[in-house]
Amino acid sequence: MTSQAAIDTSAPAEAGSYADHARAWLTQNLTDRLRTDRAHEPAATLDELIAFEAALHEAGLAGITWPKAYAGHGLTLHEHLEANREIGLAPMPNAVNSIGKELAGPILLAVGNESQKARFLPAILKMQHIWCQGFSEPGAGSDLAALRTKAERTADGWRINGQKIWTSGASKSQRCLLLARTGAPQERHKGLVLFAVPMNAPGIDVREIVSIDGQRSFCEVFFNDVIVDEADMLGAPDEGWAAASRVLSIERATNRMYRAWRFQSELDHLITACRSDRRAFAILQTYARELAQIRVKTEMIKGLVETLVETLLAGEQIGPRGSFPKLYWSEAHQSFARIAWEIVSRFPADANGPLLDLRKRVEGIYLSSRAETIYAGTTEIQLDIIAKRILNLKKTA
Amino acid sequence: MFDDLDPKEFEETAAAVIESCAEAADIADRATLLAEAGLLGVTAPEAVGGLGLPIRFAVPIASAAGAGLLAFPVIEALLLTRALAKTAPEMATAIGAGEVVATIAWSGTAEDGVVGAAPLAAEADRILVFRADGGAVLIAAKAATVVDAAPSLDLEAPDATIRLAGAPDGIALDAATVHALREEAKLLRTAFVMGSAARCLTLAADYAQERSQFGKPLSANQVLRHRLSRDALAIETMRSALHRALAEPAEGPEMARDAAWLTAAQDGPVVAESAIQLFGGMGFTWEVPLHRHLRQIRTQTVHGAAADALDDLGAALLSGTNNTWYGEIANAV
């Protein structure tokens, strides 16, 4: 793995120059093993993926908006968006540490104390700490405020007992962004407290759950008398969660900002691979209209995301409007996945080369896309948010 | 430039004027009202009496026209004052001043002898007719015969089909000017549909909270709340797409315009249909104006040839991509 020296971020970037830099770096560093369109290559190992992500940061393509004091690049969402356009267009694997970079990091920046920021933020970008998110529980999914994991004060910190589930990446994480409660479950949103729990603490038991795409990414995590230092509590009880909620509403809208371009790239791959074989192209041609609609939808996602970026850059709150892009992109991608799967399922039995690579990729996309309308607030939760907080629809006369 | 002006102010002015247009006696009166408010020449150069503003200032006018069921070819007037400014400044001035009502026949070419999809052509003074070579000619309405002025789907600005009497004679526009006009039309049409669909959503959301069944407002039912949320998503998607198209993104300004228009053409009617469903039996009556919105939105999809545009995009997509990441894959087609 080659890694380039961090770019000079002191000079204001000209429009488009950050994209040029990103494209050039990715062309150099995204190897065949890392590429998601090369199914015939042996898959990259976790260590390779981690090294790639660390290099991505060094090259100025991760932690773009984070302060320089914490190993960030001190730039704006403009540069973040430019880099993400190029990241999206490339057949690049999803980040191993997206929870660290897109959830824990922004929350730490908002509610963490100086010592916590210095301890955790550079470690996230340098891939020394992979993070997982301990929010959902068996009895608290969409209804997060029903969570029961208990945090009790001890002489020198906290004792945690409970169970988390759907914790993506827990088995490879060093830290868990844990949401627990100090009081009784009936208190709902009151008494919630956030921790940065070290995953090697005694009493933590991680069990992998095999997901429908055969992956072992998400887990259940059991906390049995786990002792956590006071220094690992993020914000005060109540306060930490309130601030985190505000961060979450932004993150829902802006995380994985490359999505529209990634979906466009998947469509590009579908078309290009089908054009390598006359029989496949004949099949593809019967889907011209549906594919045109998908292409239009990718433009819509760009519009929804870019509008929110502008809003944030103008210093305004986006509040519940983050539900619009989440709702839209997840369903748009599922429509693409359905159509793409149907197309590759009709390939002739002797299809090979680019068609096989494509089929493998599309099968993965089709299955994994089923999660997209479930995680980060289900489609139904997003619709509820829009009805209640944007349309202000009353429920009683 | 123009930073001190807010397009929103034009929307408010337009909404008020368009409301008064509903009381006007005829199309000439409406032309006068719109012209007096300076709405028809917003984007035309100052030399022809316009304000010389960018197209984004015409967008709120088109949106207000859609919301307010305006019985006037306002999209056509906005486009023509701008397109004619150079070649026929007097005509552009007259259209902007409301002295001449001009429309556009959106389907067919002069060579066909019959053109159609011309809103309010039966009442207009001038009609722009496209040519097969990509140019166009603005003919006098009396030089053509309206063969079908029976109410079309759109009740506010009924389409007419026109038979041309011989070779069309009038002010000629070259292909480049017509291309620019068509591109701007996508933006104004998107705005018009968005305004109309947003009005449908407002009507439906209000009704859902007023109407009580089973002892609670309709809006207490999750299935209806979610229907309205989806309609709100559709409007928000159009709004942000239009905003993006107006900003002319470097990665593809034409694609951004096409996508905004195609989304408005697909989702606009769905929002109007959804509002009709939510109103129940009332939604199916002539009295409730939702059908007027549905009719005018559907008519816009015809003027903007949305179905053809989707086919064209599909064909263009299948012709290959310029994504260099897949450049190594051989092309066998």
What was the ipTM of the complex prediction?
0.95
- Cα-flanking dihedrals φ and ψ of residue B258, to 5°? -60, -45
pLDDT tens across B107-140, in order? 999 999 999 999 999 999 999 999 999 999 999 9
Q: Which of A199, A197, A68, A185 is nearest to A125 (CA)?
A: A68
Reported residue count of chain A is 397
Total tally of structural domains belonging to chain A: 3
* 3-class DSSP state of A110: helix
Calculate how close chain A gets to B197, using CA atoms only, in Å: 15
Q: Note the pLDDT of residue B3.
A: 61
Give catalytic residues of A, as residue numbers: 251
Q: pLDDT category, B1, cuts 50, 70, 90?
A: low
Q: How many CB atoms lie within 10 A of CB B156?
A: 19
CB contact under 8 A, B320 and A271: yes
Residue that finishes a domain, picked among A38, A71, A95: A95
CA distances in angstroms from B300 to A250, A317, B47, B117, B181, listed in the order given: 36, 35, 31, 9, 16
Q: Is residue A278 part of a domain?
A: yes
Q: Which residues of B touch A286 (CB under 8 A)?
A: none
Q: Is residue A248 part of a domain?
A: no
Q: Do A324 and B244 touch (CB under 8 A)?
A: no
Tell whether the model's pLDDT for residue A9 goes beyond 90. no
- Domain assignment present for residue A35? The answer is yes
Subunit contact B244:A393, Cβ cutoff 8 A: no
Are A192 and A311 contained in the same domain? no
Q: What is the pLDDT of residue B108?
A: 95
Q: A residues 88-147 near B, CB within 8 Å?
A: 89-91
Nearest chain A residue (CA) to B210: A397
* Residue A143: predicted pLDDT: 83
Please state the pTM of the whole predicted model.
0.94
Tell me, what CATH number does A161's domain have? 2.40.110.10
Write out chain B residues lying below 8 Å of A277, CB-based: 332
pLDDT-derived band of residue B327, with 50, 70 and 90 as boundaries? very high
A 261-290: CB under 8 A from B: 264-265, 267-269, 271-273, 275-278, 281, 284-285, 288-289
- Of B117, B116, B47, B113, the closest CA to residue B82 belongs to B47
Amino acid at position B119, single letter: P
CB atoms within 10 A of CB A319: 15
Lowest mean pLDDT among A70-84, A247-261, B189-203: A247-261
Residues A287 and A346 in one domain: yes
Decide if A394 and B229 are in contact by the 8 Å CB cutoff: no
CA atoms within 13 A on the CB side of A246: 12
Same domain flag for A300 and A233: no
Task: Return d(Cα B286, Cα B298) in angstroms, integer.
Answer: 17
For residue B116, give both structure tokens: 């159609």
Residues A269 and A375 placed together within one structural domain of the fold: yes
Domain of residue A386: give its range: 256-390
Hey, which residues 320-359 in chain A have their CB within 8 Å of chain B?
A: 321, 324, 327-328, 354
User: Quick check: is A139 in a domain?
Assistant: yes
CB contact under 8 A, A268 and B326: yes
Which of A197, A213, A240 is the last residue in one of the domains? Answer: A240
**Are the beta carbons of A323 and A340 closer than 8 angstroms?**
no
Q: Are A53 and A43 in contact (CB under 8 A)?
A: no
| Domain-embedded: residue A48 | yes
A260 and A382 assigned to the same domain = yes
Residues A207 and A328 in one domain: no
% pLDDT > 90, chain B: 90
Residue type, A321: R
